Structure 1
Amino acid sequence: MITVHHLRNSQSERVVWLCEELNLDYRLKIHERRSDNRLAPNDYKALHGVGTAPVVVDDGFVIAESGAICDYLNYRYGGGALAPNASHADYPDHLFWFHWSNASYMAALSIERVLAMTGGSAPAFIVDRVRRSQMLIENRPSGAPYFGGSALSTADIMMLFCLTTMRGFTGGSLSDMPATREYLARIGARPAYRRAMEKAEGGRTIAID
């Protein structure tokens, strides 16, 4: 059976949501953050060499990294249901947002967060990168209802954490992003997302502001 190791308030919430959207049979193991520094406890770090969330164990395999886990579960157990075929018109958008979410956007947000935690401020180029990222998100050229195009895909699974939990860490506002707020409201109403948050985070809802 698939075991999802969920570290509270972390990127592993993506995996719980994915499992619910795919209606997979899985076991959820909750890990609390350390009380002294809010980081992952040693038993979580011992699961995989990277020492960070998320981690999934399946049939003796230990898999880390959000994108890798999304692809693994979607294609091995979901029949690729949450990704458009390479010949589909939505495929380029899906591919971009799926990879951009962590490779570029999360990287910039993480720098902001770490500097804030240590009493510093982000350099101008990081502030500009975050601002440009928010503009890109709000004014998506395709105008599609989902990041991956016309239907929910793993691109949405990847992007949502950046716009919700990570935004809570950095204190970002969506006051000038009405299209993004509407998108978050739709995602927050999805039964699979609600089930995931109930299981993983005690029913936490999306803050839209």
Structure 2
Amino acid sequence: MLTIHHLGKSQSERILWLCEELGLDYELVHHVRDPVTGLAPPSLVALHPMGTAPVIEDGEIVLAESGAIMEYIIGKHGGGRLTHAPTHPDYAQYVFWWHYANGNFQPAMGRNMVMNRLNLPADNPIAARIRSRLLDAFTMMETRLGNTPFLAGESLTAADIMMVFSLTTMRYFFPFDLAPYPNVRAYLQRVAARPTYQRAMQKGDPGMKLLLD
């Protein structure tokens, strides 16, 4: 059985949601952030040198990094679910959005979070460029979700599971108004309606308000 080491308000929610979608049995271990720094506790450092969540244990395997964990679980336990085969007409979209989530979008959110905390002047050219790149990303996503219900086509895939954290829980760290993006907000409502997502979030972060609009 998989063991998922989870930290509240973190990318480890992806792993819980993935396992709920796949109907996998797992043991959930909660870790608590340091009350002063908000950082991960030493218990996660003891599991893996990265010292961050998520971490999974699968037999003798100990694995960190949410994207790597998702690929491992899908490859070993997914049975072809939540992915598109190379022959699928939306395969290229699946591959793109899967990698875009943590390769570009999540870093863009993180860079803007840092810029906000630096309180730079509104006309600072670096801050303006970083902000512009994020707005471009939202516009691209808004366009895509105006043409299809999920990022990789008609059905939810692991690409969506990768992306949703950045659109929701990440906004606790970097508030961002989704009002200009009705297609993104409608997409998040489709996600919110899934019992699998509801179960994952209740197990991982009970009582946390879900930022879905």
TM range (shorter): over 0.9
Partner Cα separation in structure 2 for residue 205 and residue 16 of structure 1: 17
Distance verdict in 2 for CA 1:40–1:117, change over 3 Å:
farther
Partner secondary structure for residue 82 of structure 2? coil
Is this contact kept in 2: 1:174–1:208, CA < 8 A?
A: no
Cα deviation per residue 1:177-197 (whole Å; 9 max; x = unaligned)?
Answer: 101111101101100001001
Is this contact kept in 2: 1:85–1:91, CA < 8 A?
A: yes
Residue in structure 1 matched with residue 74 of structure 2 by the alignment: 74
Partner secondary structure for residue 139 of structure 1? helix
Matching of residues 1-209 of structure 1 within 5 Å = 1-120=1-120, 123-140=127-144, 143-209=147-213
Cα deviation per residue 1:61-102 (whole Å; 9 max; x = unaligned)?
Answer: 111111111111112111120101111011111100000001
Is this contact kept in 2: 1:16–1:196, CA < 8 A?
A: yes
Cα offset, 1:120, TM superposition: 4.8
Partner Cα separation in structure 1 for residue 130 and residue 137 of structure 2: 10
Distance verdict in 2 for CA 1:90–1:146, change over 3 Å:
same
Cα deviation per residue 1:99-150 (whole Å; 9 max; x = unaligned)?
Answer: 0001111111112223434555762221111110110111117812111212
Is this contact kept in 2: 1:2–1:58, CA < 8 A?
A: yes
Which sections of structure 1, spanning at least 5 residues, go unmatched? none
Which residue type is aligned with residue 77 of structure 1?
H
Cα offset, 1:43, TM superposition: 1.2
Distance verdict in 2 for CA 1:112–1:21, change over 3 Å:
same
Cα deviation per residue 1:137-166 (whole Å; 9 max; x = unaligned)?
Answer: 111178121112121110000000010011
Partner Cα separation in structure 1 for residue 135 and residue 165 of structure 2: 17
Distance verdict in 2 for CA 1:114–1:44, change over 3 Å:
farther
Partner Cα separation in structure 2 for residue 142 and residue 96 of structure 1: 17
Aligned length: 209
Which residue type is aligned with residue 139 of structure 1?
T
Structure 1 residue ranges, 4+ long, deviating more than 2 angstroms after superposition: 114-122, 203-209
Distance verdict in 2 for CA 1:180–1:53, change over 3 Å:
same
Give the percent of matched residue pairs that are identical in Structure 1 and Structure 2: 44
Partner Cα separation in structure 2 for residue 36 and residue 139 of structure 1: 41
